[in-house]
Amino acid sequence: MNPPPPAKDASTVPIIGGTGALGFGLSLAFARAGLSVAIGSRDPERALESAARAVQEVPGASVEGLSNEEAANRGGVLFLAVPFRAQSETLTNLREHLSSGQILVDCTVPLAAAVAGKATRLLGVWQGSAAEQAQEMVPEGVTVVSALHTVSAKSLTDGDEFDEDTLICGDRKADKAVVAELIGLIPGLRPVNAGALETSRITESLTPLLISINGRYKTHSGIRVTGLPDGDHWS
- Is residue 155 included in any domain, yes or no? yes
Residue 164: per-residue pLDDT: 96
Q: Is the pLDDT of residue 83 over 80?
A: yes
Instruction: Mark out the alpha helices in 62-129 (DSSP H runs).
Output: 68-72, 84-94
Question: Any bridge partners for residue 111, and if so which?
Answer: 122
Q: What is the pLDDT of residues 41-52, one digit of tens each?
A: 999 999 999 999
Q: Which residues contact 151 (CB under 8 A, 6 or more apart)?
A: 22, 162, 164, 166, 189, 222
Nearest one of 74, 82, 102 to 5, comparing CA atoms: 74
- Is residue 228 included in any domain, yes or no? no
Compute the distance between CA of residue 143 and CA of residue 139 in angstroms, rounded to an integer. 9
Domain that includes residue 138, residue range:
12-217
Q: What is the pLDDT of residues 32-78, one digit of tens each?
A: 999 999 999 999 999 999 999 999 999 999 999 999 999 999 999 99
Packing angle of the helix pair 21-32, 44-57 (nearest 10 deg): 40
Which CATH number belongs to the domain containing residue 37 in this structure? 3.40.50.720
- Is residue 34 included in any domain, yes or no? yes
Residue type, 161: E
Specify the number of domains making up the chain.
1
E strand or H helix at 216: helix 206-217
- Is residue 4 included in any domain, yes or no? no
